[in-house]
Structure 1
Amino acid sequence: MNQKDAAQDNPSSGPKKAIPPYMKAVSGSLGGVVEACCLQPIDVIKTRLQLDRSGNYRGIVHCGTTVARTEGVRALWKGLTPFATHLTLKYALRMGSNALFQSAFKDSKTGKISGQGRVLSGFGAGVLEALVIVTPFEVVKIRLQQQKGLSPDLLKYKGPVHCARMIIKEEGVFGLWAGAAPTVMRNGTNQAAMFTAKNTFDILLWKKHEGDGKVLQPWQSMISGFLAGTAGPICTGPFDVVKTRLMAQNRVVGGELKYKGMVHAIRTIYAEEGLRALWKGLLPRLMRIPPGQAIVWAVADQIIGLYERRVLHGAAL
């Protein structure tokens, strides 16, 4: 057995070769484009269910068929442009910043990162993406998705750019950051769990260690990604509902806001609608996020795996 084979059979022997953060960013952005196109209808349904206070929709299927029947099938792809742009930038920032944070937490001698360091790296990436990318894009997306109908003459917001301009004009620049606090909590917790779980499942299921040159099959990446993306929505359901409610309400000057902030929104929703209301839209989130992570990782792992094999290990092949 040569040295290369021995190193691959025992990934813990010596420092692992690092994948540049920019490659992680590129792989994530491409995965985000594919995810957005496939799963936008589920996101629209999730938003409508979370905003439904009067019980107009009796579940996922009823919501989807109602929207399609009354507004047209195209309505299920409302907000696709900001959603796709948002996912592309979000995954690029998420993957790239997580790689940078992990580099900071790695042991300089062994190249290993502890479990705590992996969790903190994921949380930091989630907080960063929430503040820089997710919040303003989701505010625009949710404002577009909550509008009923397709006739431009009847809609307040004519498109993503017009929506952003109207929000800034009526509510100020910070109107684009409505719901930032629950978004930070949701994304930070989600990414801390997701990156840690994805690495764990890759090792347990496929004996895949980062930097070992092994390229997972797309179906293997999809299984790991799906499992890693399941826990977050259950844990962060209340943050997601509150985020949607805060983002949807108009902060017109002189107008009274129903929800004053994250804590006030949680208390109000619980008092008026009960505990279960804090997990509204959970099922469509579980229909969207785990499959979304499966799609993203299927794309990202192929790009990262090929880079590992051809660039990091190419000289020894």
Structure 2
Amino acid sequence: MNESENNSKKSIPPYMKAVSGSLGGIVEASCLQPIDVIKTRLQLDRTGNYKGIVHCGSTVARTEGVRALWKGLTPFATHLTLKYALRMGSNAVFQAAFKDENGQLSNRGRLLSGFGAGVLEALVIVTPFEVVKIRLQQQKGLSPDLLKYKGPIHCARMITREEGLLGLWAGAAPTVMRNGTNQAAMFTAKNAFDVLLWKKHEGDGKVLQPWQSMISGFLAGTAGPVCTGPFDVVKTRLMAQSRHGGELKYKGMVHAIRTIYAEEGLLALWKGLLPRLMRIPPGQAIMWAVADQVIGLYERKYFHIAPL
């Protein structure tokens, strides 16, 4: 059997990649929601109420209760589950399309596949879910009577009624740039670290130990937040501002970047970077530990029944 036949035979179906990603997303969301809440509060803090990650977390827990650190968990968990299913599945489809006649995928093809998957997830899933999540997270207090948004569905309905359907896609442009860049880097880096550290090639039948997947996933998840920090801050600001009454402070992605830089300085464009680094790389570590095991189960069964 030649190499091209071997690669073709050992391709993992996109639906299996989607299933592995969705299961990984559920576990990740449950573990890391408090860090995401802290990140959002820090990014929205224009007056210096929070002195840092620990102070922000302790302040939220003290003034609003520990449960407040899991605000927005339902849309966050649903969002991650659907996002990873679409990300992993669409990336597999794009990779198949970019393979050459010998079944080989170039680094350029891997980057484009990751970028395409990131853009798709940003438009279809990430933007509307994050708009709802951020609106819920920025509310202070736990008493339903004092909160404008009573829950994810109520929040989505209020935004649609007050701001129109497009209100759910506030901040779409920076979200597309952030997610496209992130996934291009993440998929390429994850594959590179698997090969470099563990000599693992996709479809070779070798199943990484969970700790190995976690190391590769953690390392692959570090570059994106540093490169895409401004897009993430702008995305959060655009999503948080209501279009119901009054003048919008930020008119769009470029205007928001200029305004934040002029009013708060260059470093403000990387607000929330540390909690992002505390959440995204560990999140990728958790997700890939689960996803690689699910894919590994399929590979073991597939190779077991495949003729030699």
Q: Structure 2-normalised TM-score?
A: 0.97
The Cα shift of 1:12 comes to: 7.6
Which amino acid in the other structure matches residue 223 of structure 1? Answer: I
Which amino acid in the other structure matches residue 152 of structure 1? Answer: P
Unaligned ranges ≥5, structure 2: none
Which amino acid in the other structure matches residue 64 of structure 2? Answer: E
The Cα shift of 1:126 comes to: 0.1
The 8 Å contact of residues 213 and 309 in structure 1, kept in 2 or not, is answered as yes
The Cα shift of 1:312 comes to: 3.8
Distance in 1 (CA, whole Å) between partners of 2:296 and 2:76 is: 27
The 8 Å contact of residues 7 and 203 in structure 2, kept in 1 or not, is answered as no
Which amino acid in the other structure matches residue 268 of structure 1? Answer: T
2:185 maps to which residue? 193
- CA deviations 1:272-305 (Å, max 9, x no partner) are 0000000000000000000000000000000101
2:118 maps to which residue? 126
State which drifts further: 302-311 or 145-154: 302-311
Counterpart secondary structure, 2:153: helix
Answering whether residue 293 of structure 2 is matched by residue 302 of structure 1, we say yes
Distance in 2 (CA, whole Å) between partners of 1:183 and 1:114 is: 26
Unaligned ranges ≥5, structure 1: none
Which amino acid in the other structure matches residue 247 of structure 2? Answer: E
1:117 maps to which residue? 109
After superposition, residues 89-108 of structure 1 pair within 5 angstroms as 89-108=82-101
Runs of 4+ in 1 over 4 A off after TM superposition: 11-14
* Equivalent of residue 149 in structure 1, options 141, 152, 157: 141
Counterpart secondary structure, 1:287: helix
The Cα shift of 1:316 comes to: 4.7
After superposition, residues 201-216 of structure 1 pair within 5 angstroms as 201-216=193-208
Counterpart secondary structure, 1:15: helix
RMSD of aligned C-alpha atoms?
1.3
* Equivalent of residue 271 in structure 2, options 262, 267, 280: 280
After superposition, residues 16-165 of structure 1 pair within 5 angstroms as 16=8, 17-108=10-101, 110-165=102-157
Number of residue pairs the alignment of both structures matches: 307
- CA deviations 1:106-144 (Å, max 9, x no partner) are 113x21100000000000000000000000000000000
Distance in 1 (CA, whole Å) between partners of 2:74 and 2:306 is: 42
The 8 Å contact of residues 25 and 287 in structure 2, kept in 1 or not, is answered as yes
2:243 maps to which residue? 251
- CA deviations 1:74-118 (Å, max 9, x no partner) are 00000000000000000000000000000000113x211000000
Answering whether residue 230 of structure 2 is matched by residue 238 of structure 1, we say yes
The Cα shift of 1:314 comes to: 3.0
- CA deviations 1:53-93 (Å, max 9, x no partner) are 00000000000000000000000000000000000000000
Q: Structure 1-normalised TM-score?
A: 0.95
The Cα shift of 1:313 comes to: 4.2
The Cα shift of 1:212 comes to: 0.5
Distance in 1 (CA, whole Å) between partners of 2:174 and 2:287 is: 24
The 8 Å contact of residues 31 and 299 in structure 1, kept in 2 or not, is answered as yes
Distance in 2 (CA, whole Å) between partners of 1:174 and 1:314 is: 49
Counterpart secondary structure, 1:209: coil
Distance in 1 (CA, whole Å) between partners of 2:227 and 2:297 is: 34
Distance in 2 (CA, whole Å) between partners of 1:46 and 1:313 is: 45
The 8 Å contact of residues 14 and 111 in structure 1, kept in 2 or not, is answered as no
